[in-house]
Structure 1
């Protein structure tokens, strides 16, 4: 149980489901339009998804390893390293998970004939290490790094599926003599943008929550450099940038006949984000920011679930 807590098993489940939904509901249906079999068959997809989960788990371990002193101040009841898991064991497990993750990605890359693809996983492992040792304590760079890593969850699928590469230069709606279909690259691109923006917001809020411990350890996060109020304003501004395209998309979907997905976008994503931005500045307590970060994760999950509605309406 201590190991599951250390690697944030619940976040790993979300990562796996994100890739599963993107693959099963957007990429896999392309098989009927593809001239050849997809590289990401069930077996290859599973290896790539497990690779992502293993590298993410390793990232959580190394993050906690370098954050022992900060976590002892911010959340002493949740610290498991040293108390229940030896530091040496954590480092060994971090290495094993990273190596296993890269090997699995390498197998899929080899089957695709592009060893260079595995550079994405190598870059991610490097970013996770550098984030834990340096970037997390710096102004804004750590937040953006985690947001990029979150976006890479779906980007990896786009990289490892050659059938998607031909759609990059195509319009948002691909029309034929008998049908019209949303460009899968555009669909996945929307979710990449959504994941990046909301993760960026959540990371800033988590820095607000950890304000005390970060300050005592000499970190220069946004809340420490700008203060809580300015950080709230900045987070709300990011929220507006993320919400406006969703609002426009929801309205256009309804007008285009995608009524269920359009209504879901407005009710489950746009309205909760607006309420979240309004409520964010109501309090400045650690508990309030923790609750705000949790709520934002819930909105992100709601965004992932919208892929189910997309699939239903796209194949109705």
Structure 2
């Protein structure tokens, strides 16, 4: 009896350890931290940008009392949740296929891989397919709910781009960097696009007049531009970190083609352009002290520090730290949406 209990305990413990280990590797494979960034971005675009902005617009409903009422979100929260699920499913699938094709270079650059060792290649491809199917199906569902079924083709396009990026485009000069930057910039746009579609559909039918909604894209365009620029910079920095493996397998990344010093110079120039763009947008379109202080402290100063670290870095581990700082800068840019909500809600402009 004691031996049976001991055997059961050993078996149970092994199963728990095996399950925990698999979950740990799966989470690493799908880059769970990056998925949280996607979720946070979409939530903030909806509730910190779109909702407070449209609440300041009055409209009169045809079947109402004739009183002017503030506009309200029209995409139900559960449909928005499905939209977020579509985005993170396709993103997770993209990370899996990326690691599937990067086994050889990752062995050189990082010394370990998950696909092919911790998770079988066939199982990785299965999960890639399942996540893409879920993402595309969810995307078409939300598109239909928003009144624009053809929006679902966006998710098919993104799925295809992520596959061909991993299989081919990332090996081509700058093409992969630009593609990742564009796809990252699409995340805030998706959140606003589907809400705009639902707003347009509802108020064009039920309101006496349809308020102008283009301004929503001006705001989200600013966040998308920031996401594009900072992602592009970080991709170049990551390619600098991965120089050894990329060079060994003939990838035409920027550092391989023009060298690490020149790549650092390109990164510095792009950072300077990003800083200049932020201040120009602030000066001509926002021009308030709160935004100036927030961006200066959380974005500009860290970017200047990144420039310093790039110009003085000599080892691979230093480049890795710089890449991490860039991710924090991107997070600070996303969190600016909270500042915008406070400014709009409390009329702080």
Query: What TM-score results when the alignment is normalised by the length of structure 2?
Result: 0.81
1:39: how far off?
3.9
Distance, in Å, in 2 between the alignment partners of 1:162 and 1:20 is 15
After superposition, residues 84-233 of structure 1 pair within 5 angstroms as 84-162=118-196, 183-233=215-265
The aligned residue for residue 235 of structure 1 is 267
Distance, in Å, in 1 between the alignment partners of 2:145 and 2:139 is 10
Residue by residue, what CA displacement relative to the aligned partner does 1:41-98 show, whole Å, maximum 9, x if unpaired? 2111111111100000000000000000000110024x11121100000000000000
Distance, in Å, in 2 between the alignment partners of 1:146 and 1:182 is 26
Higher alpha-carbon deviation: 128-137 or 107-116: 107-116
2:108 paired residue among 47, 52, 73: 73
- Tell whether 2:38 aligns with 1:10: no
1:162: how far off?
2.8
1:38: how far off?
3.6
The aligned residue for residue 322 of structure 2 is 292
- Tell whether 2:51 aligns with 1:28: yes
Distance, in Å, in 1 between the alignment partners of 2:307 and 2:92 is 30
1:272: how far off?
1.4
Quote the RMSD (CA, aligned, Å): 2.1
Distance, in Å, in 1 between the alignment partners of 2:46 and 2:325 is 26
Matched residue count: 299
1:165: how far off?
8.6
Q: Structure 1 residues 21, 305: closer, same or farther in 2, change over 3 A?
A: same
Structure 1, unpaired ranges of 5+: 167-180
Q: Is the 8 A contact 2:53 2:344 kept in 1?
A: no
1:100: how far off?
0.2
- Tell whether 2:65 aligns with 1:42: no
Q: Could you say what secondary structure the match of 2:312 adopts?
A: coil
Larger radius of gyration: 2
- Tell whether 2:293 aligns with 1:263: yes
Distance, in Å, in 2 between the alignment partners of 1:104 and 1:203 is 29
Distance, in Å, in 2 between the alignment partners of 1:253 and 1:149 is 25
1:212: how far off?
0.3
Q: Could you say what secondary structure the match of 2:251 adopts?
A: coil
Q: Is the 8 A contact 2:143 2:194 kept in 1?
A: yes
Query: What TM-score results when the alignment is normalised by the length of structure 1?
Result: 0.89
Q: Is the 8 A contact 2:46 2:191 kept in 1?
A: yes
Distance, in Å, in 1 between the alignment partners of 2:144 and 2:335 is 32
Q: Is the 8 A contact 2:185 2:224 kept in 1?
A: yes
2:94 paired residue among 37, 43, 59: 59
1:197: how far off?
0.3
